[in-house]
């Protein structure tokens, strides 16, 4: 049992490793992964494993391996304003990362079978909104979660631009999943032990691409033994934002533009030299492994191998870098939340300031 990329010491290092192995390939996906700390979605006693490229399961709570989520995010080709449906939304980790890209005018829905996992996801979402400074760097499409079996979605539900299913889909359910898509939409799901991307190119036209060999726990079939009737899952309606909410989005956007202009004016080109601090070098290495996890298996990519000579050169180069950075090997100052500072400095009543900050804690 192992991971497709090396373990990281923190969330940023995990993302560095995923980029190095080409699982994260676009800036939007990288920003979303860096904004949300994977460890925040673990129970406290299991956080030591949060930055390993492994799946995690405890009771009904489940997180896929980071490299799987990376491939899913890249395959979905997310853009602001799209609608997204997450089947088997679990902890809400993926839905929250998607929400950072969709922005305030997107739609972000999730269906989860287990009610206790829904409560867990809502707690984690609330924690992210109220405590994370990363939240203020984005305009967020907040996920809405409903309890139910994703194979019993009401036939009159709206169709979506993007759909992901986080459980193994059998061939007999392929058309059911496809019908959840708008024309031009993208569906990503484990189908017959392959992570599969399906694009709807017309009312009855599809393009299919196999991404990665995987093995997910299969979808749980509906159980009608108790009542004999189907329990239809009704997804949240696509709500129109209130005028008050639109005003908050506009004000926050204006303040961000002012902060950007002030930074440009102060620093000329707006670029600062990043603080220097030591980060462990990620070395390329040959990987030809198949990973066996609890209810989840995936084949790793084969990265560009390094010669043994190159490895020794890397070690020597790393030693030299460490010697060069010793005088300045201080930890960087914590990042400043300029949006929060600017809002709190405005001549406004406190309740309005707190509303603009989503009632967030410091």
Q: Mind telling me the catalytic residues? A: 64
Calpha distance 191→128 (Å, rounded): 32
Tokens linked to 61: 């709570």
Calpha distance 98→143 (Å, rounded): 9
Q: Which helix (H) or strand (E) holds 17?
A: helix 11-20
Strand order in the sheet with 144-147: 144-147, 107-112, 83-87, 160-165, 181-191, 194-202, 205-215, 296-299, 290-293
DSSP 157-170: PPPEEEEEE-SBB-
Of 335, 322, 329, 334, the residue nearest 277 (C-alpha) = 329
Q: Give the contacts of 94 (CB within 8 A, at least 6 positions apart).
A: 69, 72, 73, 86, 164, 166
């Amino acid at each position: 049992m192992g991971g497709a990329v090396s373990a990281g010491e923190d969330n940023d290092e995990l993302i560095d490793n995923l980029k190095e192995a080409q699982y994260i390939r676009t800036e939007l996906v990288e920003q979303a992964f860096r904004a949300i700390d994977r460890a925040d979605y673990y129970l406290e006693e299991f956080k030591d494993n949060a930055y390993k490229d492994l799946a995690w399961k405890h009771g009904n709570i489940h997180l896929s391996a980071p490299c799987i989520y990376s491939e899913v995010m890249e395959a979905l080709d997310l853009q602001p304003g799209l609608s997204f449906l997450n089947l088997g939304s679990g902890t809400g980790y993926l839905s929250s990362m998607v929400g950072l890209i969709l922005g305030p005018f997107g739609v972000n829905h999730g269906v989860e079978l287990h009610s206790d996992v829904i409560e867990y996801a809502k707690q984690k979402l609330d924690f992210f909104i109220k405590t994370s400074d990363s939240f203020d760097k984005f305009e967020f499409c907040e996920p809405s979660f409903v309890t139910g079996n994703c194979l019993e979605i009401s036939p009159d539900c709206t169709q979506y631009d993007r759909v992901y299913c986080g459980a193994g889909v059998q061939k007999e359910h392929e058309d059911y999943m496809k019908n959840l898509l708008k024309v031009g939409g993208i569906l990503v799901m484990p189908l017959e032990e392959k992570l599969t991307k399906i694009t709807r190119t017309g009312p009855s036209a599809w393009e299919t691409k196999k991404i990665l060999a995987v093995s997910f726990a299969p979808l749980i079939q509906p159980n009608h033994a108790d009542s004999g009737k189907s329990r239809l899952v009704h997804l949240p309606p696509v709500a129109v934002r209130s005028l008050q909410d639109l005003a908050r989005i506009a004000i926050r956007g204006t303040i961000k533009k002012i902060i950007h202009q002030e930074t440009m004016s102060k620093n000329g080109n707006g670029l600062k030299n990043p603080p220097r601090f030591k980060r462990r070098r990620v070395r390329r290495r040959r990987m030809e492994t198949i990973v066996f996890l609890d209810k989840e298996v995936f084949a790793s990519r084969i990265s560009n191998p390094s010669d043994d000579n190159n490895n020794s050169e890397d070690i020597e180069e790393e030693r030299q870098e460490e010697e060069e950075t010793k005088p300045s090997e201080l930890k960087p100052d914590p990042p400043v939340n300029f949006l929060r500072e600017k809002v709190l400095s405005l001549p406004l009543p406190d309740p309005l300031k707190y509303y603009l900050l989503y009632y967030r804690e410091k």
